[in-house]
Structure formats: structure tokens, C-alpha cells
Amino acid sequence: MPYTAHVLHGFNPLEALEGEWRKLFNQAESPNPFFSAEWVFTWLNHRGGRVFPVTLIVRDDDERLVAAWPFFEYAAIGGRGLWVGLSDIADCLEPLLIRHDETLLKTVFEALGQLLADYRFIWIPLLRGQWVRDHLEPALGTYPNLPIIRNRAPNHYVDLTAQSDFESYLNGAVGAKTRKSLRYDTRQLEQLGQAEYVTYRTPDDLLRFEVEMRSIEKVSWKGRQRVGHLTGIGSGDFFHELLPKLMALGQAEITALRLNEMAIAFEIAIRHSGYYGFFHIAYLPDHHKYAPGKQLMLHNIERAMREGCTEFDFMQGGHDYKQKFCTGSRELMDAFLCQRSFAGRLNYWLSRLFTRRKAN
């Protein structure tokens, strides 16, 4: 099937696409959950005049929208560059596709050449390594560019379809010493009173829990280091608007670990069909020695298994606990593509210099 790529500049053509974008996401076989219409257009609403959107779209021969990839302009030496949209907040930045069709992927990645004709660079983090090798690198040979491809921490996950039950998963994923430690933490927590897990799935549920949830994050290590999603500058209002929209559509849920009716930890999950995304977690520092975050995570792995999910995705980050409890991992890469021009070369060499200094 023939596909045609187009580049849209500015807010008006992108806003006119919202209905088609939502339809594309709902019909996609395995969509990037962070590029639903709710994520993209809420993000644009909160970034306001601070970003200028540039959107790469692909239509089929019936003029149906079959792929979309949001970018925004960013300052560059000698002009402007492009970053993938939501790169400051999302955990996956691959294009939104109706299906993982080889011809469609070829069209999408070759269309990056249209963008490089006008922009000094394109910054694309968090691409799966297989897509880089199978689709991006072949496409780079079709238009002038200076590429920098970098490895980053892999994406760890649990293949839930390969587990007969939760006990079998634990036996296969962790050793006897870790299991003994987990049982000890559970007993110690239970000695403090009644522990229970509560899952919130609707906007009304969120309304009842949101203040408590934000209070936990604020005093957690994430809040103290200003890396929290719910209390961070620029992200707090965004998630306050986004989460009710996602929960109304069944695309997000929140689970709390409560001790004597008081929440001591919470986890935000991204949901879509059989997918469970471990997006964000925080807990009260006073309960650190009982490993509440780990206990909540394991509860949700077991729950995802019971609910028929095919994968528990730990998302980005090479944290030790993700490596310990995963059953597999996917290679992730960042791509920095520069225009083959004098200004493009300056951006290319500056990026290489920055990377070298960071490594040292």
C-alpha cells in the first residue's frame, strides 16, 4: 500500500488533526501509549507559547491518517532544531503507527529527511534498538545527514505470558535470598497494623486520593530531589489535568499501599489492552525499611498477571530493582541527526564534544 508523508507546521493544523489522531490511536495494533491524543494535546496546552509544534504525519492512498510523530522546535547553532514532543515527560517516544508495517516504517523514517532539509538537527531519544537497525539506519542512507547513535539503559520488562503463576515467576526471577528478604519485609509491615492494596480507576477515585498522593510524593526522595511528576514545576499542573482524562478512558490507574488506612506508597500505571506500564512510584521515607515501593510493585505484577496482561513494562531506567525482577530487556538508543551543512556540522561536533566530556 502506498503511503505519503507530510509535515505540519504550527498549532492550527495540528489541532485540526485531533479527531483523526484519536481515531488512529484507538485503531492502532500496539500504539505508543504516550502519544494518545490526551497526552499530546494536554502537553501542548500546558507548554503553550513556549513551543512551536512541527508534526510528521503519514497518510495512506485513501487519505487515512496511519502514522503521526510530534516534534517541536528547539534552539540550534545557526538556526532551529527539532526535539520529539513530550521528550521532557514521556517514557517512550516512538512514532504512533496504525500497525508495524515494514513499508509504513520505511516511509516514516525516510520522511525525517524532509525535516532535515529545514532544521539543523533532529533529537530522537528512546528508540528501540531493533527499529534503529532495521529502519532508521537504512533510511539515513537516503538523505544527507550526520548521525550520532548512542546506547542508553535498556528497557526491562516481565513477559507475563511465559509465567504459569506468580510463584513460578518469583522462583525464576529472583533467588532464595531475595525471596526471604521480601517475606521479612512483609511480616515487619504487617506487625505495624492492617496493610491493604487499593486500586483507583476513575476520575472520582482520583479526586478522593489526589491530595494524599501528592503529599506522599512531596516528602519522598523524588519530591526532595525535585524529580517528582506530580509536584514538579511545570509537570504538576500537567498531570492534574491529564490523569482524569486517562482514567476516564481506562488508560491509567493508581494503586496505593495503605497501612492502618493511611497511604504510605502509590504507583501510577499506564494501561492499554494487555499492556501494563510501570510509570511512576513514590513512598513515605519513614517506611523505607519495609520496602513499600517494592511490595507495591510486586503486588501489581501479580495483579497484572491475574488480569490477563501480556507484559509488565518497567519502562526506561536501568535501576537495580528493575534488573532484578525483570525476565527480559529491550535495547534502547538515542539518535541525534544533523543536517549536512556548515551549521549542521557545528551542532554535530558540539554534541560529540558534550558527549565526550560527559563520559569523562
Region at 206 (left for phi over 0; alpha for psi -120 to 50; beta for the rest): alpha
State the average pLDDT for the chain: 94
Q: Please tell me the predicted confidence (pLDDT) of residue 358.
A: 64
Would you tell me the crossing angle of helices 236-248 and 203-219 to the nearest 10 degrees? 150
C-alpha distances out from residue 322 to 161, 292, 329, Å: 18, 15, 10
Geometric angle at alpha carbon 244, from 239 and 247, rounded to 5°: 115
Kindly report, residue by residue over 32-82, the tens digit of the pLDDT.
Answer: 999 999 999 999 999 877 899 999 999 999 999 999 999 999 999 999 999
Kindly report, residue by residue over 100-109, the tens digit of the pLDDT.
Answer: 999 999 999 9
pLDDT band, residue 360 (cuts 50/70/90) = low
Q: Please tell me the predicted confidence (pLDDT) of residue 354.
A: 76
Among residues 155, 157, 179, 163, the alpha carbon closest in space to that of 305 is found at 163
Q: Considering the chain, what percentage of its residues have pLDDT values greater than 90?
A: 88
Region at 9 (left for phi over 0; alpha for psi -120 to 50; beta for the rest): beta
3-154+330-359 and 164-326, same CATH topology: yes
Q: Please tell me the predicted confidence (pLDDT) of residue 76.
A: 96
Geometric angle at alpha carbon 52, from 337 and 59, rounded to 5°: 70
pLDDT band, residue 302 (cuts 50/70/90) = very high
Report how far residue 113's alpha carbon sits from residue 24's, in angstroms, rounded to the nearest whole number. Answer: 24
Residue 355 has pLDDT above 90, yes or no: no
Residue 8 has pLDDT above 70, yes or no: yes
Residue 191 has pLDDT above 60, yes or no: yes
Residue 330 has pLDDT above 70, yes or no: yes
Per this entry, what is the length of the chain?
360
Q: Please tell me the predicted confidence (pLDDT) of residue 119.
A: 98
pLDDT band, residue 245 (cuts 50/70/90) = very high
Q: Please tell me the predicted confidence (pLDDT) of residue 241.
A: 97
Half-sphere exposure of 153 (CA within 13 A, CB side): 12
Q: Please tell me the predicted confidence (pLDDT) of residue 225.
A: 93
Q: Please tell me the predicted confidence (pLDDT) of residue 275.
A: 94
CATH number, domain 164-326: 3.40.630.30
Residue 1 has pLDDT above 80, yes or no: no
pLDDT band, residue 131 (cuts 50/70/90) = very high
Q: What is the mean pLDDT of residues 12-25?
A: 97
- CATH topology for 3-154+330-359 is Aminopeptidase (3.40.630)
pLDDT band, residue 151 (cuts 50/70/90) = very high
Taking the alpha carbons at both ends of the chain, their separation in whole angstroms is 48
Q: Please tell me the predicted confidence (pLDDT) of residue 235.
A: 92
Kindly report the pTM of this predicted structure.
0.94
Q: Please tell me the predicted confidence (pLDDT) of residue 188.
A: 93
Kindly report, residue by residue over 156-176, the tens digit of the pLDDT.
Answer: 999 999 999 999 999 888 888
- Amino acid at the residue 254: I
Residue 232 has pLDDT above 90, yes or no: no
Q: What are the residue boundaries of the structural domains of the chain, listed by start? A: 3-154+330-359, 164-326
Residue 359 has pLDDT above 70, yes or no: no
